[in-house]
Chains A and B, each alone.
Chain A
Amino acid sequence: MSIRKFAFSLFALTALALPAHAKEGGGHGEAAQHWSFKGMTGTYDRAALQRGFEVYRQVCASCHSLNLLSYRNLADLGYSEDQIKAIASEYAVMDGPNDEGEMFERPARPSDRFKAPFANKKAAMYANNGAYPPDMSLLAKARHGGADYIYGIMTGYADAPENMTLMQGQYWNAAMHGNIIAMSPPLSDGMVSYEDGTEGTLHQYAMDIATFLTWAAEPHMEARKRTGLKALIFLLVFSFIMYGVKKRVWQDAH
């Protein structure tokens, strides 16, 4: 075997081994959905982001925080400055101390972080039967499968098999590791009515919330791919030129 061939097979082997790194420890393998943000130039579907935000604030936000996001970040979803101000002002946040040393409540501003449903982790656990509803800011990156996993959890509820007994406050879910989840089925058909007239099905809600949470975890994905494309085109052209330069320099060396 020539060293060149060997190097190539080494590379191929490594490439084959990589996906295995990602598979370990997951649930039961969620079916891959079709996402707008996949692919070399994929972008977030703005309408899906806005619908997903609607699902988040009407349903998820009653238990799950989104601590790493500010209201101003909603500009990415296509909301105008006034719309963001209006959305923020629906929430009351604690500020202070004022000149008299008192803490006070005021309507949230675009620069404020998303208001969390509970004051702290203990309060969240106390209100949820001892289970902690995780912060959702990075959820799409913090679980194997990402958006497909979130979609899988949303749509994975079913009756437990007969040989499995669930305790009070436990539910069976196909996508969950070990199939036991402490969250009651959060979404069902018709639960949230969409302003844009999209039909409110469980499938639609699950797709939209997964898109929204993928954006929340990776808000600069579009800029990343755009920048990457520029760098890639530059390097391809540069490599091509340098190949010519190298050939030219070496032509009379031997």
Chain B
Amino acid sequence: MASGKREPFDNAFVEWVDSRLPIFTLMVKEYRAFPTPKNFNYFWNFGAIAMVMLVLMIVTGIVLAMHYTPHATMAFNSVERIMRDVNWGWMLRYMHMNGASFFFIAVYIHIFRGMYYGSYKKPRELLWIFGVLIFLLMMATAFMGYTLPWSQMGGWAATVITNLFSAIPLVGEKLVALLWGGFSVDNPTLNRFFSLHYLLPFVILGVVVLHVWALHVTGSNNPLGIEPNGPQDTVPFHPYYTAKDTFGLSVFLILYVVVTFWFPNVFAHPDHFVQYDSMVTPPHIVPEWYFLPYYAILRSITFDIGIPFTDIVFINAKFGGVIAMFGAVIVLFFLPWFDSHPVRSARFRPWYKIALLALALDFILLGYVGMETADAVKFGIPLVYVGQICTLYYFAFFVAIVPWLSKNEKALPLPKSINDAVLAAKGA
């Protein structure tokens, strides 16, 4: 990687290592001198925050795995042993449980920031794709982690989600048997989920390396969405952004600590504290809050898709829901091609800004619909209709609104350079 010309170091040991493996040169180049646009706002903290949360999840997770027993009859009690008898076990467990939620909070804000300021656009498409891949892997990891305590909620979530795959034509049933490792959710299911839950975070870490690598090739986007023209537009990453990121991280961790130590079960349903029983179905199976919008999309497809006024069905409602749910994530991969508008930042695209803020509200509304029961009615409106309208907007945003705006939206005038804009803002 960092071969070629190299500045020698004064310290003899550092120089000895660096002349053999230029790791210090790499660090200096990528984390000290790295020219970074000087106009970031606090939205740019969340990449670093997400990185810290990932490391925190891996560290707490490795220690938890030392005490956890992945067996259908022992898993629940082994988690309780961690909570009661393992030294500081309760803290590791609560940090891990709530860490997942805060990891998702950081990543959702990070994704929103990328969409708002057009960070997915040329030349950062691959960077964006790696990001979506991380998000997808996180979802798989979080879902399997959710099942591991083998509680009523965990075991039944495993049942519901794995059953979705049975909707896939031809291979569905075989696929489900493969996921289960048998003919029902049982010990083999728990074993493979545990194995994968341990594996996937390291895959995520690998993709994060690619994500960061790609970032360091193109450089960061910024709130203006214009490329830096020279040194007057940038600052070295260290100490400017190391200081700012540490401050932002610290504030984020305050919220994390408040939830972890005072409201550790605020995200957990009471059925998490009852051991899984395959004979007793809980009245209301809900996923973790960060999946609720996708859960609502899944449940919005209540109709078969086929030729109208005939009995011919191409896609039944169940399979349609599964396609919509996975499609809602997959569609993100293609965002750089749906939107080819030359202006990146929503600051200069008034219509795109409105459409995107509406999408954010739409997403939260979907989350609310996902939280309620399928037959819930609020203010006389069945929530399933609300979910359907929100699902329609969600997909319309990507495949219709954004492509249309991309061709027709007239952008506001862009500032000449980052430096000009920063100085103008200072003078104002």
Interface residues of A (CB under 8 A from B): 1, 3, 6-7, 10, 13-14, 17-18, 20-22, 24-25, 40, 68, 73, 137-138, 141-144, 217, 219-220, 223-225, 227-229, 231-232, 235-236, 238-239, 242-243, 245-246, 249-250, 253-254
Contacts and interface: CB of A to CB of B under 8 A. Distances in A.
B251 A137 contact: no
A98 B381 CA distance: 68
Given A1-B357, A22-B266, A17 B371 contact: yes
10 contacts: A7-B109, A13-B364, A21-B267, A21-B371, A142-B270, A142-B271, A143-B270, A224-B261, A245-B246, A254-B422
Interface in B407-428: 422-423, 426
Contacts of B239: 249
B91 A224 contact: yes
Contact of A246 (B244, B257, B270): B244
B151 to A, nearest CB: 9
A245 B243 contact: yes
A220 B364 CA distance: 34
Interface of B: 38, 41, 43, 77, 80, 83-84, 90-91, 94, 109, 116, 235, 239-240, 243-244, 246-247, 250-251, 253-254, 257-258, 260-262, 264-267, 269-274, 283-284, 289, 357, 360, 364, 367-368, 371-373, 422-423, 426
A21 B284 contact: no
Contacts of A73: 84
A223 B94 CA distance: 13
Given A228-B260, A239-B247, 14 more contacts: A13-B364, A21-B267, A21-B289, A21-B371, A24-B371, A68-B77, A141-B273, A225-B262, A235-B253, A239-B250, A239-B251, A239-B254, A249-B244, A253-B240
A143 B152 CA distance: 13
B371 A217 contact: no
Nearest to A139: B273
A242 B254 CA distance: 13
Contact of A220 (B84, B266, B273, B367): B84
Contacts, number: 112
Summarize A's interface: helix, strand, loop or mixed: helix
B80 A235 contact: no
A167 B426 CA distance: 77
B254 A24 contact: no
A195 B254 CA distance: 44
Contact of A249 (B240, B271, B273): B240
A224 B90 contact: yes
A228 B240 contact: no
B90 A24 contact: no
Max chain A C-beta neighbours (<10 A), residue from B43, B235, B247, B253: B247
B371 A228 contact: no
7 nearest A-B residue pairs (beta carbon): A228-B261, A142-B273, A242-B247, A239-B250, A138-B273, A141-B273, A246-B243
B262 A238 contact: no
Contacts of B364: 10, 13-14, 17
Contacts of A68: 77, 80, 84
Max chain A C-beta neighbours (<10 A), residue from B270, B289, B373: B270
Given A6-B357, A14-B364, A21-B371, A141 B423 contact: no
Contacts of B284: 24-25
B371 A254 contact: no
Nearest to B280: A132
Nearest to B247: A242
Max chain A C-beta neighbours (<10 A), residue from B116, B261, B367: B261
A184 to B, nearest CB: 23
Given A21-B289, A24-B284, A246-B244, A235 B254 contact: yes
Contact of A245 (B91, B116, B247, B289): B247
A239 B246 CA distance: 8
A250 to B, nearest CB: 6
Max chain A C-beta neighbours (<10 A), residue from B83, B94, B244, B257: B257
